[in-house]
């Protein structure tokens, strides 16, 4: 009798272990409308946490151009290009190399403050190891940021290192614990910071996923009915984005989008410049602008892995804050403008 009980217990343990190993806690729902190449784009971090379930096993190339038209009919071009290339993917071990380039224009009522900010990610290098319910990620990022006078100097350069441990309690609940090291080169000094963070992900069903914590305060993607998609994300307290989309078919969708975000990163430093503002001479090396926009996007899936998005909308330029390193010195009025955009993406999961 004792042998029978022991045998039953052993068989139960073995079957439970096999069940754990056979369950894929890191599945990516490639059939979801949110995982299609013509989906309205949200910030990369919520997309990675929600849609891609922290996996890096995907080819992705995205190019977008955006034309803004000022009140005096000046035409300004903003450009964004990103490429993620998996270089090693075997069983539980994955490595990806990514790069990106963005160029945005700060537009103000004061022509002397209008500036083209460039941000070049020279290297985005995540290394991952997955074991059953666990995923361990080491991520290194290296950026060149600044304007035309400082882009290729040390001023503005940023390095980031993330160590992330993620555990799936079950197929619904997932917890990520993170440690981040951030280093930014200001004009005359380095700013260094080590900070902890966490993200709690909840997959209620195939139709609704959400995450909360930090740096993503709250985000969700929800399909309440088959043809309607809703998404929202709040990163820290500065970046808010959301959309509601109607899908005419699997290949065509139209959405209304809202975005409130820093038009220039607070980490973008350049060589000092001076300006006469409000009867005061200000010497600054950083500009930040929080800008709101509302737009309509038409998404077209032209093939299995290629999507095109056409955009038209209006931006509300709020005040521009001027800093010297981390010291705020003053502000100026931003500029409102209409804009149109084109986005092309290639997206293929392994």
Residue 252 falls inside a structural domain: yes
**Any bridge partners for residue 168, and if so which?**
174
Tens-binned pLDDT, residue by residue, of the chain (350 aa): 555 444 444 444 444 444 444 468 998 889 899 999 999 987 788 888 998 999 998 999 999 999 887 666 566 788 999 999 999 988 799 999 999 999 888 777 777 788 888 889 999 999 999 999 999 999 999 999 888 778 888 888 899 999 999 999 999 999 999 999 999 887 777 889 999 999 999 999 989 999 999 999 999 999 999 999 999 999 987 889 999 999 999 999 999 999 987 655 555 777 888 888 877 888 888 888 778 899 999 999 999 999 999 999 998 877 788 888 878 888 888 888 899 999 999 999 98
Residue 18 resides in a domain: no
Task: Specify whether the CB–CB gap between 156 and 146 falls below 8 A.
Answer: yes
Residue 17 forms part of a structural domain: no
* CA distances from residue 61 to 28, 169, 241, 260, 340 in whole angstroms, order as listed: 18, 33, 21, 24, 21
Token pair for 64: 């977008």
Residue 200 lies in a domain: yes
Q: Is residue 9 part of a domain?
A: no
Of the candidates 196, 141, 136, the one whose C-alpha atom is nearest the C-alpha of residue 164 is 136
Q: What per-residue confidence (pLDDT) applies to 250?
A: 94
Decide: pTM greater than 0.95: no
How many domains does the structure of the chain reveal?
1
In whole angstroms, what is the distance from residue 197 CA to residue 28 CA?
24
Enclosing domain of residue 139: 28-349
The reported pLDDT for the residue numbered 21 is 45
Q: Find, among 198, 166, 209, 225, the residue nearest to 28 by Cα.
A: 209
Q: Rounded CA gap, 117 and 186, in Å? A: 15
Q: ∠ CA(339), CA(61), CA(137), 5° rounding?
A: 115
Q: 348, 303, 237, 309: which is closest to 40 by C-alpha? A: 309
Q: What is the CATH number of the domain that holds 301?
A: 2.40.160
Provide the pLDDT for residue 4.
Answer: 44
Beta bridge pairs of residue 163: 138, 179
Indicate whether 193 belongs to any domain: yes
Flag whether 2 is in a domain: no
Supply the pLDDT for residue 9. 47
Three-class DSSP labels, the chain: CHHHHHHHHHHHHHHHHHHHHHCCCCCCCCCCHHHCCCCCCCCHHHHHHHCCCCCCCEEEEEEEEEEEECCCCCEEEEEEEEEEEEEEEECCEEEEEEEEEEEEEECECCHHHCEEEEEEEEEEEEEEEEECCEEEEEEEEEEEEECCCCCCCCCCCEEEEEEEEEEECCCCEEEEEEEEEEEEECCCCEEEEEEEEEEEEEEEECCEEEEEEECEEEEEEEEEECCEEEEEEEECCCEEEEEEEEECCCCEEEEEEEEEEECCCCCCCCCCEEEEECCEEEEECEEEEEEEEEEEEEEEECCCCEEEEEEEEEEEEEEEEEEECCEEEEEECECCEEEEEEEEEEEEEC
Assess contact for 269 and 186: CB atoms under 8 A.
Answer: yes
In this structure, is residue 311 part of a structural domain?
Answer: yes
């Amino acid at each position: 009798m004792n042998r029978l009980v022991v045998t039953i217990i052993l068989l139960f343990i073995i079957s439970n272990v096999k069940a754990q190993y056979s369950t894929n806690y890191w599945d990516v729902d490639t059939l979801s409308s949110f995982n299609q190449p013509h989906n309205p784009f949200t910030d990369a971090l919520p997309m990675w946490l929600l849609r891609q379930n922290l996996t890096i096993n995907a080819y992705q190339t995205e190019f977008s151009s955006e034309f803004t038209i000022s009140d005096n009919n000046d035409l300004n071009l903003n450009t964004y290009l990103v490429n993620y290339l998996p270089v090693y993917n075997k069983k539980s071990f994955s490595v990806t190399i990514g790069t990106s380039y963005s160029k945005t224009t700060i537009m103000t009522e004061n022509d002397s403050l209008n500036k083209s900010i460039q941000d070049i990610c020279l290297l985005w290098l995540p290394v991952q190891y997955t074991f059953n319910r666990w995923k361990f990620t080491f991520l290194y990022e290296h950026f060149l940021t600044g304007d035309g006078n400082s882009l290729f100097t040390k001023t503005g350069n940023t390095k980031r290192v993330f160590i992330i441990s993620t555990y799936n309690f079950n197929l619904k609940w997932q917890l990520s614990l993170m440690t981040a090291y951030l280093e930014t080169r200001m004009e005359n000094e380095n700013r260094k910071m080590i900070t902890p963070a966490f993200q709690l992900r909840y997959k209620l069903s195939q139709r609704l996923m959400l995450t909360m914590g930090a740096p993503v305060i709250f985000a969700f993607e929800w399909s309440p009915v088959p043809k309607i998609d809703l998404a929202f994300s709040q990163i820290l307290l500065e970046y808010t984005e959301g959309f509601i989309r109607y899908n005419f078919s699997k290949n065509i969708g139209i959405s209304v989008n809202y975005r409130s975000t820093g038009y220039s990163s607070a980490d973008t430093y350049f060589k000092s410049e001076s300006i006469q503002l409000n009867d005061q001479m200000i010497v600054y090396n950083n500009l930040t602008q929080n800008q709101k926009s509302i737009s309509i996007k038409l998404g077209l899936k032209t093939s299995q892995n290629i999507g095109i998005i056409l955009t038209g909308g209006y931006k509300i330029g709020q005040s521009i804050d001027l800093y010297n390193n981390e010291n705020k010195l003053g502000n100026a009025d931003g500029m409102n403008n209409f804009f149109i955009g084109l986005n092309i993406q290639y997206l293929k999961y392994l």
